[in-house]
Homo-oligomer: A and B are copies of this chain.
Amino acid sequence: MHGLSEQPITTKSLQNVPLFRAGPPDFIARLSAQATVLSPGKGHVLIVHEEPATRFFIITKGWIKLYRETLDGTQAVVDILNAGHLFGEGALFQGDTYPYSAEAVEESEVISLPLSLLKSEIENNPALALSMLKAMAQHRRLMDKELEHRSLQNAPQRIGCFLLRLSHSPAAPGPVTIHLPYDKTLVAARLGMQPETFSRALAKLKIATGIDIHGASINIPSLDALVNFTCAACSSEFPCKDMDV
């Protein structure tokens, strides 16, 4: 790790993390005291899969890619997170090593904190433990769905589902315009497909559902059409309960 600038801490960022609000009043102050701010540039690796875990991170700016890779360099993208999300906390109660590597996708900013602090706090504060349990339970639901999608949905449908999640749609069936949050190449990786496949699958999706594509911005004239096409191969009905994240 190299060339990371340190900056004054924003306690405010910590207050925005729901998990921490479950802690005692002085918890955030104690976190702040041990916090370090990092500003990783594009491609900068923050943690490495299977290395001993000592710190976890909170994203305050930019996008962070979580991934695992084999000896020959092939990688599986676990998730891509932005401001407000935690990562590297997965070693807390199991294994003591990171379950994935993490690198900045673009100029980003993250707060680094010692895992030991969070761990002892959770051990001593039941409310925090419950909050953590809740967070993990939610994460688990998302993983369940992800696994299902990988085996039941085809490429165009996975993209459709991704768009639907971005649309934050209410019940309103009307037209919506959304922006891809990062490179199409990355979206492809996030969805477990090659960039070329993504490109072609998006074209298919366009034909099938009438969406309009202008670079990174996509207009959905009919949510219904998109839902029909996409959610046909999913075990849940559309306004998916646990769509967030």
Q: A residues touching B (Cβ–Cβ < 8 Å)?
A: 49-50, 68-72, 74, 76, 78, 90, 92-95, 97, 99-100, 122-123, 126, 129-130, 132-134, 136-141, 143-144, 146-148, 150-152, 192, 232-236, 241-242
Contacts and interface: CB of A to CB of B under 8 A. Distances in A.
Contacts of A235: 49-50, 68-70, 76
Contacts of A49: 235
Nearest to A89: B137
Contacts of A129: 126, 129-130, 133
Given A49-B235, A70-B233, A147 B90 contact: no
Given A94-B141, A147-B76, A150-B147, A123 B130 contact: yes
Given A68-B235, A122-B133, A138-B94, A147 B78 contact: yes
A48 B148 CA distance: 16
Nearest to A146: B147
A35 to B, nearest CB: 23
A92 B137 CA distance: 8
Contacts of A147: 76, 78, 143, 146-147, 150
Contacts of A138: 93-94
Contacts of A97: 241
A143 B235 CA distance: 19
5 contacts: A68-B144, A68-B235, A90-B137, A95-B242, A150-B192
A46 B122 CA distance: 34
Given A76-B235, A151-B76, A236-B50, A94 B134 contact: yes
Contacts of A132: 133
Given A70-B234, A93-B130, A151-B192, 19 more contacts: A68-B144, A70-B232, A71-B232, A72-B232, A76-B147, A76-B151, A76-B152, A90-B144, A92-B133, A92-B137, A93-B136, A94-B137, A95-B241, A99-B141, A122-B130, A126-B129, A133-B136, A139-B140, A150-B192
